[in-house]
Structure 1
């Protein structure tokens, strides 16, 4: 009888600043999509924060959990943690959620692991072109402002638009 080898897992780490909103959602959605496609056993996802020590051990932000739950993703067991040097060895791909986090990762990352770094949005398909009406632009500004408020704890929100 031949023994069937377990296929190797591909490990992806999603990184934002505090590890309580964007990166846990990205990890949960990616894991869910892989499971739906029958690839769940081949993929391992995790999330961490470049400033994850601020929220270490905390569950994702309630708003992130609500957004995830509304779309069928359970974030309740996830806990925030900081990026650690061992992550650069353990993961096959480390995706930063924005350029500021990429800069922080580059400062932490050993030279031999830099090829593993990438930007999350480089893997997101472009949306269909849309008419940039005033209401669409306002909505995009509100979304970005809301994301900024999440990152800064409510400081720096801009209600002018």
Structure 2
């Protein structure tokens, strides 16, 4: 059960950056995922590294890492964090003509890294789209979500499998 109080709103209803100074520093990890659906031909081009713009997944990996690190400059009330690890991984799905993206962020700190993981996976997906849009403008980015978070007073939370 969670507290339903909105922490980013003060008593007057104004936007408010949460004060985390009294919270306990713990190891915090978050994992987010996304999918990019595309034509089978586009997936084949990515797998064979035959796109004119270069290595799509290597570029998307670096972009995802950079995105996670820049989260607080993109989302106004996020705290700037000293992230100790960002990992971005990809999995091909031939059946659904998709690439699944997973971003894991880790730190020792006073606030979680869910937004950083979500930003990382989103930027990686957007980079795949950008690099492939000339051959497949109908690609769809979908299912962006937090799969797991751990640390802090709430401990471990995992999304229930469908």
Aligning the two structures, in what range does the TM-score lie when normalised by the shorter sequence? Answer: under 0.3
Relative to its length, the structure with more helix (as a share) is 1
With structure 2 as the length reference, what TM-score do the two structures score?
A: 0.25
Relative to its length, the structure with more strand (as a share) is 2
With structure 1 as the length reference, what TM-score do the two structures score?
A: 0.25
